[in-house]
Amino acid sequence: MGDRTTVELNVKKADYDRDETLQRLIEENDGELCWKNIHEGRPGIYEEVMSWVFEDVNYAELRCSTPTLEEYLLENNIEYDKSWAAGGDYPEGNEVGRLIDGQYLTDESYHRDYQESKIEVLSSILNKIEEGMDLNSIRVHINQEIDEVKKFKDLGLLDDNKDRKQS
């Protein structure tokens, strides 16, 4: 398997059409256009999205251009979804960039990490109960964890049918 993988990148068609630098960077990274589709982004928002596949990408990082494709997306507040298959030293995962209420947010997640974090949260709650923490403090702790999960949902990373949503 090695350290190379296949990466899929989704960008709004409107962003791609108006940005010649973005077009150049995708071409320099040897992106192969897979499809154009109408995609539901955040609830109730439907936009035309373009998707590219990049083969043999080292550590799932699109670095065959200057600036890197990821840097350009971040610096220019371009919303995107990026997903990759597992490589030799890392699990499959995804990354998103979203403009929410005027703030650009990114999140990267690994499928294995999310499963492990659920176990850690539940273990933490059990430990607090065993340590004799009062019920109100445990509620506060659980509500903090719920707020973290809500952030993932707002970014479109969680789905009712599976733990991590694929791009």
pLDDT given at position 144: 78
Q: Which of 160, 30, 86 is nearest to 94 (CA)?
A: 86
Q: Are residues 15 and 91 in the same domain?
A: yes
Is 165 domain-assigned?
A: no
Q: Which range of residues forms the domain containing residue 24?
A: 4-109
Is 46 domain-assigned?
A: yes
Could you list the pLDDT tens digit for every one of the 167 residues in the chain? 457 888 999 898 889 999 999 999 988 888 777 665 655 555 555 578 888 888 888 888 888 878 889 889 999 999 888 988 887 777 788 888 887 777 887 777 665 555 566 666 677 777 777 788 887 887 787 777 777 666 656 655 554 333 333 33
Q: Are residues 59 and 127 in the same domain?
A: no
Q: How many residues does the chain have?
A: 167
Q: Are residues 97 and 40 in the same domain?
A: yes
Q: Are residues 83 and 128 in the same domain?
A: no
Is 73 domain-assigned?
A: yes
pLDDT given at position 159: 45
Q: Are residues 101 and 123 in the same domain?
A: no
Q: Are residues 104 and 127 in the same domain?
A: no
Q: Are residues 100 and 149 in the same domain?
A: no
Cα angle, residue 34 at apex, residues 31 and 36 outer, rounded to 5°: 115
Q: Which of 20, 23, 110, 115 is nearest to 59 (CA)?
A: 110
Q: Are residues 97 and 146 in the same domain?
A: no
Q: Are residues 50 and 84 in the same domain?
A: yes
User: What's the rounded Cα separation, in Å, for the pair 10 and 35?
Assistant: 10
Is 122 domain-assigned?
A: yes
> Into how many domains does the chain fold?
2
Is 101 domain-assigned?
A: yes
CATH number of the domain bearing residue 63: 3.30.70
pLDDT given at position 16: 92
Q: Are residues 61 and 141 in the same domain?
A: no
Is 166 domain-assigned?
A: no
Q: Which of 82, 164, 156 is nearest to 118 (CA)?
A: 164
Is 164 domain-assigned?
A: no
